[in-house]
C-alpha cells in the first residue's frame, strides 16, 4: 500500500519552519518536496494581534489566499507607491517580487490563516528588521537626519523576527476600503464554471485580475456525485492545497508509471506541466472537496479527455485503444473543457494503492 508520494506533502501536519507564541510558518519548498519546480507554498498562521514582519522576496512574486480571519495588508511598490487594504476569508492579494509588504491580524481573539504561493521553488526573503541590522547606527542616522544615538535602544540584528505581537490598537489607513489592484475577492465572485450537483470553480486569473503576471489560482469545489475530468495543462504546473474533504488523485508520469494517492485536509500536491491527472471525492471526507489550486501561469489552460473525440478520428482512436472500430464505445465529445463531469459509476473499490516510479 502506497503510504507516500513524491507529488504530495502534508503541509498542515509538517514541522513549522518558524514558530513562536504569536504564530507559525510552515513551508513546502524544493527542500521539503524535491519535485517542485517554479512554485512553492507556505501556510501562515497569525494569532490574535500578531504581525507578519514587513519583508520582501528577492526572486518571486507572492499570491496569497486568506483561509480564515481578517487582516490588514500594506504594500510598498517601486517609486514608493504605498497601498493598504483589508482582507478576509475567501479574499486574495498579490505582491510583486521585491515589494515591501506586511500582514497584520486585526482580531484580538481569533487567529488568521493564509496560503502563500510563490513563483519559485526556493523563495528568498529579506526582512525589514534584518535590513536595519545590516547597517550601522551612523548610516541609519544619516538616512533620517538623526544622530546615531537615536538608535541606541534598538538591538540591531540580521536575524529576521518573522512574526511579532502588536502593541495597542492597529492603525487603519483611510484608503483600506477603496478598490485596490493588489486585492481580489475570489470567493465573492460569480463562479466561472458550475453545474447542478457537480460543483463550481471560481478563478483568479489575469482575465479577471489584471495584476497577475506569472501566477493564477482556482477555488475548486467538487461534489461527491461528480469528479474533476481527467486532463492536463500543456504549459502550466499545478500546486494544490486541500482546504476541505478527502480526495483521490491519479497522475501519469512520462516513464509510464502511475501514482495514485489520497489527500486529506491540509495536504498539498504538485503536478508538473502536461502530466495527465484526475481528482475525485472520497466519502470519508464528506460530500464535497474544496481545493485551492495555484498555477505558474496567469492564464492556465487545460486539455481534457472529453475533448479528444473532437480531434481524433474514430479509426485512430480505435487503433490507439487496440480494438476494432465497431467495438469503440460512443465517446461523447466536447468542444471545450467541462472541468467537472457527473459520476455515473460507483467509486472504484480499490483496496490497495500501488505506484511505480523512478
Residue 347 inside a domain? The answer is: no
Residue 356 inside a domain? The answer is: no
Helices (H), 163-287: none
What pTM was estimated for this model as a whole?
A: 0.93
Residue 235 inside a domain? The answer is: yes
What's the confidence (pLDDT) of residue 195?
72
Pair 120, 80 in one domain? yes
Q: Is 331 a residue whose pLDDT tops 80?
A: yes
Pair 175, 225 in one domain? no
Torsion of CA 7, 11, 15, 17, to 10 degrees: 100
Pair 229, 131 in one domain? no
- 228 DSSP β-pair partners: 279, 340
Pair 148, 27 in one domain? yes
- 163 DSSP β-pair partners: 52
Q: What is the mean pLDDT of residues 35-53?
A: 98
Pick from 112, 104, 93, 110: nearest CA to 54: 104
What's the confidence (pLDDT) of residue 337?
62
Report the share of the chain in percent with pLDDT over 70.
Answer: 95
Residue 358 inside a domain? The answer is: no
Q: Which of 61-75, 183-197, 260-274 has the lowest mean pLDDT?
A: 183-197
For 80-117, what is each residue's pLDDT tens digit? 889 999 999 999 999 999 999 999 999 999 999 999 99
Pair 119, 225 in one domain? no
The answer to whether 204 and 186 have CB atoms below 8 angstroms apart is yes
**CATH number of the domain that residue 60 is part of:** 2.60.120.10
Q: What is the mean pLDDT of residues 236-248?
A: 97
Report the alpha-carbon distance of residue 210 to residue 183 in Å, rounded: 11
Can you give the residue range of the structural domain that contains 307?
193-342
Pairing state between β 238-244 and 268-271: antiparallel
Report the alpha-carbon distance of residue 266 to residue 277 in Å, rounded: 20
Q: Is residue 45 classed exposed, middle or buried when 0-12, 13-18 and 19+ CB atoms within 10 A define those classes?
A: buried
Report the alpha-carbon distance of residue 112 to residue 18 in Å, rounded: 16
Q: Is 166 a residue whose pLDDT tops 90?
A: yes
> How far from 191 is each of 188, 216, 303, CA to CA, in Å?
9, 15, 20
Instruction: Give the DSSP H/E element, type plus range, for residue 63.
Output: strand 62-68
Instruction: Give the DSSP H/E element, type plus range, for residue 266.
Output: none
What's the confidence (pLDDT) of residue 347?
86
Helices (H), the chain: 128-133, 137-144, 308-311, 314-321
- Domain end, chosen from 184, 218, 238, is at 184
The x, y and z cell numbers of residue 2, run together, are 502506497
What's the confidence (pLDDT) of residue 338?
67
For 297-326, what is each residue's pLDDT tens digit? 999 999 988 888 778 888 898 999 999 989
* DSSP reduced 3-state for 287: coil
Report the alpha-carbon distance of residue 138 to residue 68 in Å, rounded: 43
Residue 348 inside a domain? The answer is: no
- Domain end, chosen from 138, 156, 184, is at 184
Residue 1 inside a domain? The answer is: no
Q: What is the mean pLDDT of residues 1-15?
A: 83
Pair 227, 329 in one domain? yes
Residue 66 inside a domain? The answer is: yes
Pair 230, 127 in one domain? no
Q: What is the mean pLDDT of residues 126-151?
A: 97
Average pLDDT, rounded, for the chain: 92
Q: Is 55 a residue whose pLDDT tops 70?
A: yes
Pair 240, 282 in one domain? yes
What's the confidence (pLDDT) of residue 274?
97
What's the confidence (pLDDT) of residue 358?
27
Report the alpha-carbon distance of residue 345 to residue 347 in Å, rounded: 6
Pairing state between β 81-88 and 70-77: antiparallel
Please measure the distance between the N-terminal and C-terminal CA atoms of the chain and give it in whole angstroms. 17
Pair 119, 202 in one domain? no
For 259-270, what is each residue's pLDDT tens digit? 999 999 999 999
Pair 57, 142 in one domain? yes
Pair 79, 179 in one domain? yes
Its sign, for the CA torsion 307, 313, 315, 319, is: negative
What's the confidence (pLDDT) of residue 197?
77
The number of residues making up the chain comes to 358
Total number of domains constituting the chain: 2
Pair 37, 162 in one domain? yes
- Domain end, chosen from 184, 202, 231, is at 184
Residue 352 inside a domain? The answer is: no
The CA R_g of the chain, rounded to the nearest whole Å, is: 23
Amino acid at each position: 500500500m502506497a503510504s507516500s508520494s513524491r507529488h504530495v506533502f502534508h503541509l498542515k501536519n509538517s514541522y513549522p519552519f518558524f514558530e513562536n507564541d504569536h504564530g507559525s510558518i510552515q513551508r513546502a519548498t524544493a527542500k521539503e518536496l524535491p519535485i517542485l519546480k517554479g512554485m512553492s507554498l507556505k501556510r501562515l498562521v497569525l494569532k490574535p494581534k500578531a504581525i507578519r514582519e514587513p519583508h520582501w522576496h528577492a526572486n518571486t512574486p507572492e499570491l496569497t489566499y486568506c483561509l480564515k480571519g481578517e487582516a490588514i495588508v500594506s504594500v510598498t511598490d517601486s517609486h514608493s507607491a504605498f497601498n493598504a487594504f483589508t482582507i478576509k476569508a475567501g479574499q486574495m492579494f498579490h505582491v510583486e517580487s521585491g515589494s515591501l509588504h506586511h500582514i497584520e491580524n486585526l482580531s484580538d481573539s481569533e487567529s488568521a490563516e493564509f496560503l502563500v504561493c510563490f513563483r519559485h521553488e526556493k523563495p528568498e526573503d529579506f526582512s525589514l528588521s534584518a535590513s536595519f541590522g545590516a547597517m550601522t547606527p551612523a548610516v541609519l542616522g544619516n538616512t533620517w537626519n538623526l544622530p546615531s544615538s537615536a538608535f541606541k535602544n534598538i538591538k540591531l540584528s540580521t536575524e529576521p523576527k518573522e512574526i511579532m505581537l502588536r502593541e495597542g490598537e492597529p492603525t487603519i489607513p483611510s484608503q483600506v476600503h477603496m478598490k485596490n489592484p493588489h486585492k481580489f475577492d475570489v470567493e465573492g465572485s460569480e463562479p466561472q464554471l458550475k453545474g447542478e450537483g457537480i460543483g463550481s470553480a471560481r478563478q483568479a486569473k489575469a482575465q479577471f485580475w489584471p495584476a497577475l503576471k506569472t501566477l493564477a489560482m482556482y477555488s475548486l469545489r467538487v461534489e461527491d456525485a461528480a469528479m474533476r475530468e481527467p486532463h492536463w495543462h500543456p504549459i502550466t504546473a499545478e500546486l494544490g492545497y486541500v482546504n476541505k474533504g478527502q480526495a483521490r488523485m491519479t497522475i501519469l508520469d512520462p516513464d509510464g508509471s502511475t501514482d495514485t494517492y489520497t489527500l486529506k485536509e491540509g495536504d498539498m500536491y504538485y503536478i508538473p506541466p502536461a502530466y495527465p491527472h484526475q481528482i475525485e471525492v472520497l466519502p470519508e471526507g464528506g460530500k464535497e472537496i474544496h481545493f485551492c489550486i495555484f498555477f505558474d501561469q496567469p492564464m492556465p489552460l487545460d486539455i481534457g479527455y472529453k475533448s479528444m473525440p473532437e480531434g481524433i478520428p474514430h479509426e485512430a482512436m480505435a487503433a490507439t485503444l487496440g480494438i476494432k472500430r465497431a467495438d469503440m464505445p460512443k465517446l461523447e465529445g466536447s468542444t471545450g473543457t467541462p472541468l467537472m463531469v457527473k459520476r455515473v459509476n460507483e467509486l472504484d473499490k480499490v483496496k490497495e494503492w500501488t505506484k511505480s516510479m523512478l
